[in-house]
Amino acid sequence: MNEKKHKNTHKGAVILFWIFGLLFFVLMFRFAQIQATGKADGKVLAIEAERQYEKKQTLAAKRGAIFDRSGEVLAEDTPSYTLMAVLDPKMTIDPNDPKHVVDPEKTAEKLAPLLHMDVHEVERILTKKAKQVEFGLNGRGISYELKQKIEALKLPGIGFIRDTKRFYPNGTFASYVIGYAQKQEVSSDKAKTIGMMGIEKSLDRYLQEKNGYVVFERDKDGFRLPDTKEKIVPPDNGDEVYLTIDQKIQTFLEDAMNQVEKQYKPKKIIAIVTNPKTGEILAMGTRPSFDPNKRNITNYLNDAISYPYEPGSTMKMFTLAAAINEGVYNGNELYRSGSYRVGANVIRDHNKVGWGTITFNEGVQRSSNVAFAKLVKEKLGEDRFLQYLYRFHFNVKTGIDLPGEALGNILYRYPIEKLTTAFGQGTSVTPIQQIQAATAIANGGKMMKPYVVDRIVDPDTNKVIVQHHPEVVGEPITKETAQKVLDILETVVTSEKGTGRPYQIEGYRVAGKTGTAQIPSPKGGYLTGYENYIFSFLGMAPKENPQLLMYVAVQQPKLSPTETGSAPVSLIFNTVMKNSLQYLNIRPSVEKQEKSLDNKGIELPTYVGQTVDAAGKDAKARGLLPVVIGNGTKVEAQLPVAGEKVIGGERILLQTNGTVGMPDLRGWSLRDALKACELLGLKPSIKGSGYVVAQSIRPRSSVREGDYVILELAEPSKWQEEITQEQTSQTNKEEKSPVD
């Protein structure tokens, strides 16, 4: 019995020996395998160890900002928040203070309205099999105000991750130029800001940022180990883009378009302001527009560069230039206006009957279709005219640095099309093509390529990566021709017979051409009716040396029975052009001549060094209006300066040696107000047009050189009414048809 038990014990021991031996050899083999390959269960152990004991933190980079020409921010990244929800019940230690979403249904009902999401969609997200979830695009880019509203609900498990969003501080402002960028999901847990329109899209490769990171070693509890080396990859911020857009001029344009949109309710408004000497776009806007922060977009095309249409009579500017350049234009030659037969077709003037026998110069002023048809048919020749259309680049895109530029269509197959093109019918062009072509007239024959991007800068090194310069793309006409065209186009504005009379600007000489373009009907032919036109004006100022070139088009405005299409167009052109010229300190070129004995003006003597009384008496004796600034007894400076010629009744500013206070500018013309600002070294900001009705610095307040002053202007009836009301209050206290 004992012997049998002893045998069994030996047998069991042998079995155990072999089992443990086998396990030993398996373990040794596994150790050898792991040592040789560095892998276990398909995972690289070194990487797993690094993941366990190394911490990687993201260093966030910023998308490049977009600035105007003066460095004013037009688009930038700003702090925002991403909403997240904790779903893992293990995160809650104290049931009385839950750290995860306890009631998905109730949480969804409260969150959905604030996120503009469907309740069921929010509830679906909150019931996912995940430890933590986000809410997609609706949960990203949350403002601080919305964050506060959500936090006030005190919903368990709902929290925020600090993020950034794209912000456009000016709202609806050059929106189709700047465009917009927004977060796009690139994976289930990652989003990226991507440019979708405008500069944000076309220069996305420059604006894109790349996050950096820092890696350091940590212990098993996640704390950083002392004296460990860091691996740092710095963030690569996106490049900064500086535009040629001028924030002040763009603001003038936006305000004027808003006023016309509200008053006339047109289908479209298109406006471009450029420097014809360089091709720089200073302002560009359209209506309808959108706020890039809200992305309330109804039209995804930038009509200023993407909308080809029959331009109407603004095209006559280039036909005239071609005829003059070829030496075939005689402005004093007579022709019979009214109608002109071309085969089976008859070309008629816009008033259908014409004005009898008139000169070609008068035909330009009256915008006679017959005059320009005869110029091409009988003087210039259709083939040569086509060559000038090419020389003005109406057959190719301008190549402006904005996405989506379209190309017009030159209709030149049939005899009638060759002549209607001369006055802007049949052939279609884009607004930006007209702007480029007109730079040749405003710039002595040199045609400048339009552009909106001035430079691109690396913000980390301040190195200029891309720098754009003015580019001459052709010389379709000579300098002498350009001057002759300007002379004639000025008469379009100044002549009593001119269609451009509404575009006169006090103090400045304007040259330009009106346009009334027909709109093709979907049923064939053209739309009919008093308002069914695109009314436009292509003008430049000052005429003697144009510094600004502007195109304005207003499509199908709601006009009163007494208004013509020039009313909304001139409201934009005149306001923006005048304010922009004054803002750029381009001095008026024309003075209103008063009827006096001396039509040549009064030459100012020097008043500097004289007593205030003596200077004042002398100025009054000359028929001038002296204004004393300061409480001293001697004159230290004057405007206008000695030697300048002035007209009777003009204000002469005399600055004394005493304490200088802000003068009361109310009721002053803008020109006089700007003289006061120049004398005092103030920086003016102009709102409106007409005469000063309000100023941001109170009269008699002390001022320092470099101070900013806001001047609000209104028409004479308005400022007289406001000043009369204020004086009364103070006393009580103390006591048709288209034009072309």
Give 554's strand partners: 269, 535
Q: CB neighbours of 556 closer than 8 A, spacing ≥ 6?
A: 266, 267, 268, 519, 531, 532, 533, 534
Cis status, amide bond into 640, omega within 30 of 0: yes
Instruction: From 234, 241, 192, select the one nearest 211 (Cα to Cα).
Output: 234
CA–CA separation, 716 vs 727, rounded Å?
16
Helices (H), 54-197: 104-115, 119-126, 144-152, 175-178
The dihedral sign for the CA sequence 341, 345, 350, 352: positive
Q: How many residues does the chain have?
A: 740
Please tell me the number of Cα atoms within 13 Å of 150 on its side-chain side: 26
Instruction: From 68, 84, 409, select the one nearest 245 (Cα to Cα).
Output: 68
Instruction: From 62, 66, 63, 169, select the one nearest 454 (Cα to Cα).
Output: 66
Instruction: From 425, 575, 430, 427, select the one nearest 515 (Cα to Cα).
Output: 425
Strand intervals (E) in 491-616: 511-518, 533-541, 548-555, 602-603
CA–CA separation, 200 vs 205, rounded Å?
9
486: enclosing H helix or E strand:
helix 479-494
Catalytic one among 313, 367, 368, 536? Answer: 313
- Amino acid 647 reads I
| Residue 561, both tokens | 């029975």
Q: How distant, in Å, are the alpha carbons of 384, 427, 479, 512, 546 from that of 316? A: 15, 12, 19, 10, 19
Give 633-702 as a 3 state SS string.
CEEEEEECCCCCEECCCCEEEEEECCCCECCCCCCCEHHHHHHHHHHHCCEEEEECCCEEEEECCCCCCE
The residue assigned the tokens 């300048």 is 644
Q: CB of 213 within 8 A of CB of 38?
A: no
Q: CB of 498 within 8 A of CB of 492?
A: yes
Q: CB of 604 within 8 A of CB of 642?
A: yes
CA–CA separation, 473 vs 446, rounded Å?
8
CA–CA separation, 293 vs 450, rounded Å?
27
CA–CA separation, 242 vs 452, rounded Å?
9
* Known active-site residue 560: no
Q: What is the DSSP code string of 362-391?
A: HHHHHT-HHHHHHIIIIII-HHHHHHHHHH
Q: CB neighbours of 345 closer than 8 A, spacing ≥ 6?
A: 416
| Number of helical H runs and strand E runs in the chain | 21, 33
Q: CB of 566 within 8 A of CB of 515?
A: no
Give 540-574 as a 3 state SS string.
EECCCCCCEEEEEEEECCCCCCCCCCHHHHHHHHH
Instruction: From 420, 449, 453, select the one nearest 435 (Cα to Cα).
Output: 449
Active site positions, annotated: 313
